[in-house]
Every structure is written in C-alpha cells, then in structure tokens.
Amino acid sequence: MCKRMIIRLFLISALIAIIGSCAKISYPTGGLKDKTPPVVVKSTPLNGTKNFRGKKIEVVFNEYVVLDNINDKFMVSPPMKKKPKVVTKGKGVVIELEEKLKDSTTYTFYFLDAIRDLNEGNILPNFQFVLSTGPVIDSLSVTGNLYNANNLEVPEKTQVSLYRELADSAAEKHLPEYITRLDPTGYFRIDNIRPGIYKLYGLKDADNSKTYNTPDEEFAFMDSTILINSEKNYIPPPVIPKDTVIVKKVVNKNSKNKTAVKDTTTVKKVPVPDLIGEHRLYLFQAKKKAHYLMSSKRDLKYHFTYILSLPPDTMNFEFSIPGTDKSSYMEEPSRNRDTLMVWLVDSTLYSKDNIETHIKFPFTDSLGVVKYKLDTVAMRFASPRVSKAPSKAKKKAFTLESNIQAGNLKPGQTIVFNSKTPFTQPDTTHIRLYELLPTSKKSIPYQFIKDSLSSTKYFLKSKIELGKKYFFVADSASFSDIYKLPSDSIGIKFAIKDAESYGKITFTVKNYVGPRIIQLLDKSEKLIAEIPMKEDGKVTFNLLETGVYRARVIYDLNGDGKWTTGNFSKHIQPEPVSYYFQELDLKPGWVLTDQPWDIGIKNLKDPKLREAKKTK
C-alpha cells in the first residue's frame, strides 16, 4: 500500500470518529429539574366513553411511566370479582379486563399515586379513568372524612364503600356498588354515582375481600342512610396548591470570570390543607367475641408466648411439652390469664431448634359453642450461625434496670428492679442501702418483694425521705436469673427530688354534661396519667417531667371508666374522643394553670397535631 493511500485511510477514519462523537446521545446538563407529572396525550377508548364493549383500555402519556405498588393502589368502582391486569407498554398503561362488565354501569378506575414518570419519579396524583357500558355517565358524588376512633389519626390502606342494599348483612357478604381509597389526610370522595339511597362504610380490608367478613377487621359505619340525588351533583375536585419553585442567580466567586452566575433551585413546600367532606366515619375494631388462640411465638430460644383472643374466665389455659417433666420449664400467666409465657430452664430442651408443645384452651366453634380445644403448636427457633470459632470473651452478666439509675425518684415513687429474664431470690447478705450523711453513711433497713404477676420484677421497700441522699450497693452475683447468670456489682446514688422541681398542668374543662376521662399524653401519645370527671371543673396533673404533652378526653358514655369500642351488629358507635387544641411544652419547674378546654365538640383534633405526630 502506497504512502498516499495510507494517509487517505487515516483521514477517513478520523472523520468518521469525529462524526460519531458529534452524534453521541447525551442528556443536557444544567437547567431546572423536571417536576412536571406525566400528561395524558391519548387513550383508547377516550376517558368518559359511553356504551363501552371492549376488553382493554390503553392510556398513552407524553413520557415513559412506571407503576408503583400497583396491586395495592389500583381499584375499580364498582369492584370486580376478577381484578383487571395493569401493565406498562411503551409510554402507555394498559388495563386488561378479566371479566365482562355489567350493563348500563359507570366504571371508575382509580390509580391514586401509582403512575410516575420514569426519569424523575414525578407522581400523577389521583388519576382516574371513567367509562360507561350504557348511554349515560353517572355524575353524582359523595365526600367525607374517616379517622381512627380512639386517636383521630388517619388509618393507612383503608377503603370507603357505598351500598345500595341497605341490610347490614350486605357489608358482610356482598361487594359494594362503589368503592374508593382514603387519602393521606383522611379525606375521601366517590365520583360517578347514580342517584339513590345508600349506606356508607369504611373498612381496613385484611383479606382483600372488600367485605367486612371478620370482626377482627377494622370497620366504620354511619348511623343512617345517605341520599344522593341531583342536588348533590358532581362536586368539583379540590384545587391542591403546588410547591413553589424558586430560582436564584448566585455569583460564582471561585470563577475567574467575575460575572459568571449559576442557578440554584429551591422548592418551597406549600402546606396542603385538610379537606372537609360531608360525612364522617370513625374506624374501630370490634370487641372480640370468639375464643381462639390469637398468636404464638418463640422470640428467644428459651422463651415461648401464647396469646388468647379472650380471657378464659372459669375455664383453663393449659400447657405441656410431651415427654418432658414440668420441672424443665416455668409457666407465667398474665393477670387475666389470656397470655401465657413459658421459660424453658433445661438447656438440653431449649437447645432444640424445634419443640412440639401442647396447649389446651377455650375455643368457640362454628355454632358459637365454647369448648376446650387441644392443639399441637410447633415452636421453632433458628440459632444464629457461628462463622468463626467462639472467642474466649468474658461471660455475660445478668443485666437489670432500676428507676433509681437516673439518680432521682418522684415523691411517693416505689423503687423497682426489672430484668429481661426471671429473677431468682436476691442475696440480701451482699446488698446494702445507706443514707449518706455529711461525713459518713448509715445503713438503713429494706425489704425485697417479688411482683405477684411478673417473675422479672422486684420492688425494694424502705423508708426513703425527702431531702436525704441514699446509696444502693450490691456486690457481684447479688442478683441472678433462673439460668444462673450472675449480676455485676452495682453502686447507685439517688435522692427524692423536690416536688417543686417538677411541673404541673391544670385544665379548666367545660361545656359537657356527663362522665368523661381526661388523659395526659406524651408527644407520641403514650398515656402518662388519667383522671375521671363527672362534671365540668378543674383537673390537675402533678409531678410532671420536662417535656411536650398532649391531652385527650374520652366521653365515657357508658360510665365504665374506659374507652369502649363500637359494635356494628348492635349499631353502637365507638365512644367519642377529642384533643386539646395544641401541645403543651412544659419547662423545668413550670406550672401551666387554668388551661381553658371547651369539650363541647366531640371527635375534634387539630390537623396540626396529626401532622406533628407524623413528623415525629
């Protein structure tokens, strides 16, 4: 090959490389991030089609989309026995119908927030596709709100259903005429309804049957029927404010070009208000009526737990391990005997990965008759695999906790020791309690008392006085558990904190006639204390630690001193509750007196409290 030909080939190769590099596909850099949800460009058939007879629906968007958790989020109203299959195809979503649609019926296909764009994950919110198998698209609507009855929070994965059949049994046996899903704020709306009289229900569907077919499911119902007619014609969907995008031009100080700027994009979140619908529903779980074994578990290799649905009352709850002596384990029933804990003490027994156990307990059969049932329950525990030979580490100590470890007790508070495994009797010959004097210490008498219901709790009784300092000392092995694991040595100084250093909250409760229970809660709504009241007046909570508190009132309609759930078969709603309108931030030593609380409105909770709890 001549030299001229070689040069020509080299130039052609270089030109091809340059053209190829120019044609290389790449994403543009810089600019604003895409925050636009997918947009529908066409559909087959059209959204709102009448006299539909097909078996497939295809919706095409302006960009590629993905389906997020479609099996849980996608719903059809009215429900179908065979749920349609939903898949993506190119830039579209295809709904394949698995059964024939009913004649002269308007169908709504709900996607909630399941459709998102492929690149940025932007959500297409509350997308619905509507069609009719008849000549008319039904256009009426119903709206409302649903909350948990006992705390007025928004329950997850809850459906709202409309029934034309007004008998109570319809909600338990038949699919509803219309159905929708609760939104994250507790608001719901059902569109494309035909006129008529309906019953409205809420359901946390445990078995995906769309019916209230077991009392263990959480349920909500209205006391009366609702009339849907032309006066309640189609309600325009609410306008949800969009997040505000703010673009700032910032000088790039590190650049040699002093005029160079760059875009910085921030998104200002616009709070979405809670939407108020026409109807209110309160979700509850009915009190259990049937006796059965609710759960069993082996959380530790030497520990079993069995829980019954109801206390056995005059009947027994019995346990045994075939071929094993009763001395090889320890049984510990709860106060109501509906929970049984078993501690295995024989190492040859609890070293087994699978142990067959027998339990005998009250059981309600299909005819409603309560009789004994003998059941065999396999308790399995997978021991962690050891990848290396065990090292000669120090033997673990028996760990215990006490409320004096913080260094202070409240006035009148009892000293408590807790452990994760059952105690043996403490060796008091190696345990001392001293009163600390200015230059010495004085031994004072005490007594250990075992809790009558828990083998993992002991009380220390002694004459502890305000204004004095104390020192608790326990030598190593003073405490041990049933597995012969000894405790380390312990030395704790403590005192009774002056009542004046604690906070106090007083509410002035008014505008309600009847018994009520005023509860003080922490910021996560764990119960701190409760006080029953029969009439309006002041209620005070003393000796409060620094922290953020909430307050709830239970309207004790039946006067039994506790919150009572609902009963659908007897048409009894759960007892109402309401919340104090804000959180109370209690500083050290603060006294919040005469906090005015009008409890005249039941089932009231400020949306800010829901949002704050969700954030925490």
Question: Which band of pLDDT confidence, cut at 50, 70 and 90, is reported for residue 611?
Answer: confident
- 348 and 264 in a single domain? The answer is no
Q: Phi/psi of residue 5, each to 5°?
A: -65, -40
In a domain, 225, yes or no: yes
- 111 and 146 in a single domain? The answer is no
Question: Which band of pLDDT confidence, cut at 50, 70 and 90, is reported for residue 248?
Answer: very low
- 531 and 485 in a single domain? The answer is no
Q: Phi/psi of residue 534, each to 5°?
A: -100, -20
Question: Which band of pLDDT confidence, cut at 50, 70 and 90, is reported for residue 8?
Answer: low
Domain boundary among 346, 380, 414: 380
- 154 and 244 in a single domain? The answer is yes
In a domain, 298, yes or no: yes
Question: Which band of pLDDT confidence, cut at 50, 70 and 90, is reported for residue 71?
Answer: confident
- 144 and 272 in a single domain? The answer is yes
Domain boundary among 105, 132, 159: 132
- Could you tell me if 321 and 356 are in contact, meaning their C-beta atoms sit under 8 angstroms apart? yes
User: What CA–CA distance (Å, rounded) separates 42 from 194?
Assistant: 27
- Could you tell me if 131 and 55 are in contact, meaning their C-beta atoms sit under 8 angstroms apart? no
Asked which of 10-14, 312-316, 328-332, 555-559 is least confident by mean pLDDT, the reply is 10-14
In a domain, 256, yes or no: yes
Mean per-residue pLDDT, 93-102 = 94
Mean per-residue pLDDT, 538-558 = 96
- Could you tell me if 552 and 577 are in contact, meaning their C-beta atoms sit under 8 angstroms apart? yes
- Could you tell me if 524 and 616 are in contact, meaning their C-beta atoms sit under 8 angstroms apart? yes
pLDDT at 250: 43
- 281 and 300 in a single domain? The answer is no
Does pLDDT of 26 surpass 80?
no
pLDDT at 214: 86
Percentages helix, strand, coil for the chain (3-state, rounded to 5) are 10, 40, 50
Does pLDDT of 430 surpass 60?
yes
Mean per-residue pLDDT, 500-524 = 96
Question: Which band of pLDDT confidence, cut at 50, 70 and 90, is reported for residue 513?
Answer: very high
pLDDT at 236: 60
Tens-place pLDDT, residues 143-193: 999 999 999 999 999 999 999 999 999 999 999 999 999 998 999 999 999
pLDDT at 510: 97
The torsion region of residue 570 among left (phi > 0), alpha (psi -120 to 50) and beta comes to alpha
Tens-place pLDDT, residues 443-459: 999 999 999 999 999 99
- 355 and 440 in a single domain? The answer is no
Specify the 3-state DSSP secondary structure of 11. Answer: helix
CATH number at residue 189: 2.60.40
Find the domain containing 600 and state its range: 501-615
Pairing of strands 40-44, 56-61: antiparallel
- Could you tell me if 50 and 136 are in contact, meaning their C-beta atoms sit under 8 angstroms apart? yes
Mean per-residue pLDDT, 252-257 = 45
User: What CA–CA distance (Å, rounded) separates 11 from 475?
Assistant: 91
In a domain, 21, yes or no: no
- 374 and 489 in a single domain? The answer is no
* Opening angle at CA 276, ends 270 and 278, nearest 5: 160
CATH number at residue 601: 2.60.40.10
Mean per-residue pLDDT, 8-29 = 46
- 154 and 277 in a single domain? The answer is yes
Q: Phi/psi of residue 106, each to 5°?
A: -90, 125
User: What CA–CA distance (Å, rounded) separates 89 from 320?
Assistant: 58
Taking alpha carbons only, the member of 364, 215, 371 closest to residue 291 is 364
Question: Which band of pLDDT confidence, cut at 50, 70 and 90, is reported for residue 267?
Answer: very low
In a domain, 10, yes or no: no
Mean per-residue pLDDT, 28-37 = 66
Mean per-residue pLDDT, 395-405 = 85
Does pLDDT of 227 surpass 60?
yes
Question: Which band of pLDDT confidence, cut at 50, 70 and 90, is reported for residue 112?
Answer: confident
- 318 and 362 in a single domain? The answer is yes
In a domain, 72, yes or no: yes
In a domain, 425, yes or no: yes
Domain boundary among 75, 99, 132: 132
DSSP 56-86: EEEEEESS-EEESSHHHH-EEES--SSPPEE
Mean per-residue pLDDT, 531-550 = 96
Q: Count how many domains the chain has.
A: 5
* Alpha-helical segments (H) within 174-315: none
Does pLDDT of 244 surpass 60?
no
DSSP 517-586: EEEEEETT--EEEEEEESSSEEEEEEEEPSEEEEEEEEE-TT-SSS----BTTTTBPPPPEEE-SS-EEE
- Could you tell me if 485 and 394 are in contact, meaning their C-beta atoms sit under 8 angstroms apart? no
Q: Which residue has the higher pLDDT, 179 or 264?
A: 179
- Percent of the chain at pLDDT > 70 equals 85
Averaged pLDDT score across all residues of the chain: 87
Tens-place pLDDT, residues 431-446: 999 999 999 999 999 9
- 404 and 466 in a single domain? The answer is yes
Mean per-residue pLDDT, 195-211 = 93
Question: Which band of pLDDT confidence, cut at 50, 70 and 90, is reported for residue 24?
Answer: very low
- 273 and 345 in a single domain? The answer is no
Does pLDDT of 19 surpass 80?
no
In a domain, 23, yes or no: no
User: What CA–CA distance (Å, rounded) separates 10 from 16?
Assistant: 10
Residue with tokens 């325009």: 236
Specify the 3-state DSSP secondary structure of 49. Answer: strand
Residue type, 71: N
Q: Phi/psi of residue 22, each to 5°?
A: -70, -30
Mean per-residue pLDDT, 258-278 = 55
CATH number at residue 121: 2.60.40.1220
Does pLDDT of 398 surpass 60?
yes
User: What CA–CA distance (Å, rounded) separates 497 from 543?
Assistant: 10
